């Protein structure tokens, strides 16, 4: 029995390393195809990695670059947006996304938001969900240690220091949890989509006979506000305008 256990303990890490190595080799193959200007080949490799290895910011970013070079702007925007879900503070992803968005027909201006909301959003986007969660765990442990200092140390100065540290750690822990939840919510409730067709006409009702409301074009980002129907989705634009479009015209971020 011990021999079997030793064999399993030996081969499981080797299997994990082999899987990781395969992923690295596949990515290197995609990168080589990209450098050789074989963008269609690189796209196929990156798509396969995402399908077999799972989602990752660097693969989405490389895939977005390949689609951009292949002049598939909507798909480039889609994959840059997906990359930002995992690494919201990455400047390279943001720059390439803005570059791709400059190529689309619809020119969108951001709606006015109060300064505090913009600041809070930008600050939370400095780190990913996993990093905020790690900070929350670390500061919570420090909070417990600070409380121990405050409660069980007889020296007044130490107790004051423990109390101040506990308050500081409490604030950081709460904010880190809020930021981590914010990113988790965006990743799990993907109610934002990219228009994938050259142009679509939004209707007043989920039916082709509905009144034409507005036209949007390939690469436009929209929010899905009603997801209850299979073939139609209610969408909302940045200015609050709402309409119904066919589901096959959109792809979720």
The CATH number of whichever domain residue 11 belongs to comes to 1.25.40.10
Q: Are residues 10 and 91 in the same domain?
A: yes
Q: Are residues 122 and 170 in the same domain?
A: yes
Q: How far is CA 50 from CA 26, 126, 193, in A?
A: 11, 25, 19
Strand arrangement of the beta sheet that strand 242-246 belongs to: 212-217, 199-203, 242-246, 232-236, 221-226, 192-195, 250-252
Q: Are residues 196 and 122 in the same domain?
A: no
Strands 212-217 and 250-252 turn out to be unpaired
Is 224 inside any structural domain? yes
Give me the average pLDDT of each 10-residue run along the chain (253 residues).
41 46 77 94 96 94 97 97 94 96 86 79 90 95 93 88 94 95 90 96 94 96 94 94 96 95
Is 66 inside any structural domain? yes
Burial 78-105 (b: 16+ CB within 10 A, else e): bbbbbbbbbbbebeebbebbeebbeebe
pTM of structure: 0.82
Q: Are residues 90 and 61 in the same domain?
A: yes
Domain boundary among 39, 66, 101: 101
- Residue 146 belongs to domain spanning: 115-188
Q: Among candidates 98, 97, 43, which has minimal Cα distance to 66?
A: 43
Q: Are residues 157 and 214 in the same domain?
A: no
Q: Are residues 136 and 212 in the same domain?
A: no
Q: Are residues 157 and 233 in the same domain?
A: no
Residue 223 CA to residue 241 CA, distance in Å, equals 10
Is 106 inside any structural domain? no
Q: Are residues 7 and 85 in the same domain?
A: yes
- CATH classification of the domain holding 235: 2.30.30.40
Residue 215 CA to residue 200 CA, distance in Å, equals 6
Q: Are residues 153 and 84 in the same domain?
A: no
Is 134 inside any structural domain? yes
- The domain total for the chain is 3
> What is residue 114's predicted lDDT score, i.e. its pLDDT?
82
Is 248 inside any structural domain? yes
Helix locations, 87-155, DSSP H: 91-101, 115-124, 129-152
Is 108 inside any structural domain? no
> What is residue 18's predicted lDDT score, i.e. its pLDDT?
44
The tokens for 198 are: 């050259």
Q: Are residues 130 and 94 in the same domain?
A: no
Is 15 inside any structural domain? yes
Is 110 inside any structural domain? no
The tokens for 192 are: 């934002």
């Amino acid at each position: 029995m011990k021999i079997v256990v030793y064999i399993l303990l030996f081969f499981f890490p080797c299997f994990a390393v082999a899987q990781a190595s395969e992923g690295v080799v596949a990515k290197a193959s995609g990168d080589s195809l990209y450098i050789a200007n074989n963008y269609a080949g690189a796209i196929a490799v990156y798509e396969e990695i995402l399908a077999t290895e799972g989602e990752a910011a660097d693969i989405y970013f490389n895939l977005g670059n390949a689609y951009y070079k292949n002049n598939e702007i909507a798909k480039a925007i889609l994959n840059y947006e997906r990359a930002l879900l995992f690494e919201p503070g990455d400047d390279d992803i943001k720059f390439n996304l803005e570059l791709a968005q400059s190529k689309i027909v619809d020119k969108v201006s951001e709606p006015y938001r109060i300064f505090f909301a913009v600041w809070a959003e930008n600050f939370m986007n400095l780190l990913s969900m996993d990093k905020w969660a790690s900070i929350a765990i670390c500061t919570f442990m420090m909070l417990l240690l600070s409380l121990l200092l405050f409660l069980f140390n007889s020296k007044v100065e130490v107790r004051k220091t423990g109390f101040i540290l506990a308050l500081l750690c409490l604030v950081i822990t709460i904010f880190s949890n809020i930021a981590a939840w914010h990113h988790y919510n965006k990743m799990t409730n993907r109610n934002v989509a990219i228009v994938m067709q050259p142009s679509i006409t939004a209707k007043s009702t989920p039916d082709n006979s509905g009144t034409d409301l507005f036209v949007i074009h390939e690469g436009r980002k929209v929010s899905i506000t009603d997801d209850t129907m299979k073939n139609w989705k209610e969408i909302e634009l940045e200015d609050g305008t709402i309409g119904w479009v066919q589901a096959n015209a959109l792809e979720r971020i």
